[in-house]
Amino acid sequence: MVTLHVFSATPDPVWMINIKQIIPMKNLVKKILNDYENHLLPINSTTTTTRTVGYQGFTISCSSDNEIFIHGLNSLENQLLESGKSYLSKTIIEHVSENLGKSLFLTKYTSLTRINCDLVPIKGSDKVPTFSPQTGNGGCFVKKQSKNNCYAYGTNIVTNTYPQPGRYSGTKLSAITCETVRKAAVLDGLVYYGTNLPVGHPKSGHFVALLLWPNADYHWIRKDATGFWSHKPGAGAVTNKDNTGSLINNPSKSNLSPWKSFCGYYIAQPSKINIR
């Protein structure tokens, strides 16, 4: 099974490959490893990137205990992308193709939590959150990183369900547009604020912003006590940087490509929100 790590809010694309497809990939990996060992391929041969959202690599898995993550190996990534083209939209294929072979600067956090992160939902307070992935919400956005997406982090609620707007109320997004996501989020308890950049913080709760990768995915980003914004790209690590490595002070102007369409701001008050 192949998983393409590319979305921020919705589940990543997954497809099956057969043994005939796996054999040439295994041979390619062996060649790459052999070239490394014989110094024919330098370790730093790939291009690095500060990208925080969008394409993050592939996972090949035969079972939950037998997985390999691949990122920065252009020839192998090309084969994996080719194997999944019938499952992917033209938009996604174009985005991944543009970013193949680039190694990520990965942010890794060590969780200091002693809280039981399985006792969900774990809601943050209605005060403006601080940017502290190791301790915020008991550190559960670190310990349960792969089970919580941008919507969980944006609303400051750990669910371990990869929550989606409207799912708690039994609503399923019919399409990914600013309006459909807005309606579903409001059903969950978020309050639409408008399109003007908020100054300061609300009396209760915190501000979040919604952006779209048109016809593909959506992304939530929240305003912290510092005045800057932070986010959690899909199953990836929490970050307060955009794709250029810069702090985010205006989500509508920052480089969060391919989430280029700005949909507006909301107030998220965790005590009044239910997500799943």
Dump pLDDT digits (tens) for 49-107: 777 888 988 888 775 556 777 777 787 888 899 999 999 999 999 999 988 877 666 66
Q: Mean per-residue pLDDT for 228-251?
A: 96
> Which tokens sit at 95?
């985005």
Q: Mean per-residue pLDDT for 163-173?
A: 94
- Specify the pLDDT at position 44: 43
Confidence check: pLDDT of 201 > 60: yes
Report cis status (omega within 30 of 0) of the bond before 121. Answer: yes
Compute the distance between CA of residue 129 and CA of residue 226 in angstroms, rounded to an integer: 9
Q: Mean per-residue pLDDT for 98-118?
A: 73
- Specify the pLDDT at position 195: 97
Confidence check: pLDDT of 247 > 80: yes
Q: What percent of the chain has pLDDT over 70?
A: 85
Confidence check: pLDDT of 187 > 50: yes
Q: At 92, phi and psi to the nearest 5? A: -70, -45
- Specify the pLDDT at position 7: 95
DSSP, collapsed to helix, strand or coil, labels residue 218 as: strand
Which DSSP state fits 260?
-
Which is nearest to 178 in space by CA: 263, 76, 81, 271? 263
- Specify the pLDDT at position 109: 66
Relative to beta strand 217-223, strand 206-213 is antiparallel
Confidence check: pLDDT of 22 > 90: no
Compute the distance between CA of residue 156 and CA of residue 28 in angstroms, rounded to an integer: 43
- Specify the pLDDT at position 27: 72
Q: How confident is the model at residue 42 (pLDDT cuts 50, 70, 90)?
A: very low
Q: For the chain, what is the mean pLDDT?
A: 88
Q: Please state which of the ranges 8-12, 66-70, 127-131, 204-208 shows the lowest mean pLDDT.
A: 66-70
- Specify the pLDDT at position 53: 87
Which is nearest to 61 in space by CA: 146, 121, 141? 146
Confidence check: pLDDT of 39 > 60: no
**When comparing pLDDT for 52 and 28, which is higher?**
52
Confidence check: pLDDT of 47 > 70: no
Residue 232 CB-half CA count within 13 A: 32
- Specify the pLDDT at position 32: 60
> Which tokens sit at 136?
């915020």
Q: Please state which of the ranges 19-23, 81-85, 104-108, 132-136 shows the lowest mean pLDDT.
A: 104-108
Q: How confident is the model at residue 155 (pLDDT cuts 50, 70, 90)?
A: very high
